[in-house]
Amino acid sequence: METLTPALACRHFRVQMSTSGPTEFIDITDRLQQLVADASLGIGIVNVQTLHTTTAIVVNEHEPLLLTDFRAMLEAAVPDDARYRHDDAALRTVNLTADERRNGHAHCRALMLPTATALNISGGRLILGRWQRIFFVELDGPRDREISILLFGEAWR
Amino acid sequence: METLTPALACRHFRVQMSTSGPTEFIDITDRLQQLVADASLGIGIVNVQTLHTTTAIVVNEHEPLLLTDFRAMLEAAVPDDARYRHDDAALRTVNLTADERRNGHAHCRALMLPTATALNISGGRLILGRWQRIFFVELDGPRDREISILLFGEAWR
Amino acid sequence: METLTPALACRHFRVQMSTSGPTEFIDITDRLQQLVADASLGIGIVNVQTLHTTTAIVVNEHEPLLLTDFRAMLEAAVPDDARYRHDDAALRTVNLTADERRNGHAHCRALMLPTATALNISGGRLILGRWQRIFFVELDGPRDREISILLFGEAWR
């Protein structure tokens, strides 16, 4: 008779996506639940990290009008049409690219939101409350984007 | 003579609490330190995650007047009495419940604060600076609430 | 012939630094990459946690004008010269020290930013997007400061 013993499991994934608007909330909950299920992790952590400086990873309710409220709040807190020195071609000398975007507002909004969010796994599933959904947040789209996902925990094998 | 060797330890807990006001900061530091001590973890991470979309987990100083300043800041940044489409019964069709609350402001405030915070463990204790305390933040109370706590690290056994 | 097997690796470090201005972004990316390389971690997580309540750990682009925009945004959202009850000597009775600072604004700004950020490791390196840099954020300097860094993952040995 063999006895199952817990073993360390550690997996890294990259996921690509394309956004379609300037500010967009993309629900990635189902994709993350599938990765957790495939990894056969009983208990552990998943760390979801965006790889861009004008995006974020947040958790909130997936209700379309609420997402509109979020967009309005970000616009009110950090207006699109304010003056950002990052966008001043007469001043900028650092990190300039051929296709430079006017996106100071998007960086400032990203500073207010998490670059990465760690969520708990138990019973082989992401632990989420009734209304909790995980969103990739685009703040300077449309763009092609990529996130990094690290699963870490105890697997039975 | 036996030699102690490090082994993976991974534990998950749920903690319930009841809040008593609309916006409230509940200090959960001592409860978390006790969980870390009981787990006999020498070194590792604890990830503290709220299970609600109108709450947060933050770290700051536990000084009563400062908590009043935090409430004032949240109210100034995201006013309670502004118009939120999430609260507009004439528009809403998604995620409606029998006891629907007017809480668009609470969701927007939650978006500005962390859903989860990961803290380090070393020497068998949470690593915290002199003034650091961990708070569960209620933004739409009073309510019965629940958090998820994942401890992960190296135990000696 | 020996076969390399993955093993749990868990290391904790503290790093000291001195800040030179009231609000300052200190790029700690290279120091973190070096710690990851020295730990011979193939895959895992690094959790970077500040030990102070008027500081933060963020990820964004290292472009000097953008850092100026960030300072302006923090000042606009939470003005330095507004009234904070935490700074009212006539009211305060808790956590008073001999060298009490007027820093209610710095605590409020810290509440809006992460105390800790977890980042993924794969291929023996921190996973970072093209423009992503990790900053320690001083909000009430100049001061001597300390951060806690926890590396956790799979090492080959």
C106 backbone φψ class: left, alpha, beta (φ>0; ψ -120 to 50): alpha
Residues of B in Cβ contact (< 8 Å) with C91: 65
Contact assessment for residue A76 and residue C73, using Cβ atoms and an 8 Å cutoff: no
pLDDT tens digit string along A7-46? 788 999 999 999 999 999 999 999 999 999 999 899 999 9
Burial class (CB in 10 A: 0-12, 13-18, 19+), B47: buried
Identify the residue among C127, C133, C157 best suited for mutation to test binding to A, counting A beta carbons within 10 A and taking the highest. C127
What residue in A sits closest to B104 (Cα-Cα)?
A66
User: Can you tell me the distance from the alpha carbon of A91 to that of B32, in angstroms, rounded to the nearest whole number?
Assistant: 48
- What pLDDT score does A136 carry? 98
* Complex ipTM tops 0.85: yes
B116-156 residue pLDDT tens = 999 999 999 999 999 999 999 999 999 999 999 999 999 86
Q: What is the pLDDT of residues A122-140, one digit of tens each?
A: 999 999 999 999 999 999 9
Evaluate if residue B6 carries a pLDDT over 80.
Answer: no
Residues of chain A contacting C, Cβ within 8 Å: 8, 10-12, 45, 47, 49-53, 77-78, 84-86, 88, 91-92, 94-95, 104, 107-108, 110-112, 114-116, 118, 146, 148-150, 152
Residue A1 has pLDDT above 80, yes or no: no
| Lowest-confidence region among A91-100, B17-26, C34-43, C116-125 | A91-100
- The one-character DSSP state at B114 is -
The answer to whether the Cβ–Cβ distance between B115 and A59 falls below 8 Å is yes
pLDDT tens string, chain C, 157 residues long: the values are: 555 566 788 999 999 999 999 999 999 999 999 999 999 999 999 999 999 999 999 999 999 999 999 999 999 999 999 999 999 989 998 998 888 899 999 999 999 999 999 999 999 999 999 999 999 999 999 999 999 999 999 986 5
Inter-chain CB proximity C65 and A86 less than 8 Å: yes
CB atoms within 10 A of CB C88: 13
pLDDT of residue A8: 82
Task: Find chain C residues with C-beta within 8 A of B57's C-beta.
Answer: none
Distance (Å) from the alpha carbon of B84 to chain A's nearest alpha carbon = 6
pLDDT digits (tens, 9 = 90+) for B71-127: 999 999 999 999 999 999 899 989 988 888 999 999 999 999 999 999 999 999 999
Q: Yes or no: say if B9 and B155 are a contact pair by the CB < 8 Å rule.
A: yes
Spatial neighbors of C98 by CB under 8 A, at least 6 apart, are none
CB pair distance less than 8 Å for C120 and A149:
yes
Which whole-number Å values give the CA distances from C113 to B140, C49, C58, C110, in the listed order?
Answer: 21, 12, 7, 5
Contacts A63 to B, Cβ<8 Å: 86, 92, 94-95
Other C-beta atoms closer than 10 Å to the C-beta of A88 total 13
Binned at pLDDT 50, 70 and 90, residue B8 comes out as confident
What are φ and ψ of residue B100, in 5° steps? -55, 130
Picking from B7, B45, B127, the nearest residue to C152 by CB comes out as B45
pLDDT, average across residues A93-117: 94
Q: Number of residue pairs across A and B with CB atoms under 8 Å?
A: 110
The answer to whether A48 touches A117, Cβ cutoff 8 Å, is: yes
Beta strands per DSSP E along chain C: 6-18, 24-27, 41-50, 55-60, 116-122, 125-126, 133-138, 144-156
Share of chain A above pLDDT 90, in %: 87
At position C91, the amino acid (one-letter code) is L
Hunting for tokens 């708070």 — which residue is that? Answer: B135
pLDDT over 70 at A2, yes or no: no
Check pLDDT > 60 for residue B2: no
pLDDT tens digits for range C115-150: 999 999 999 999 999 999 999 999 999 999 999 999
Phi, psi of A62 (to 5 degrees): -95, 85
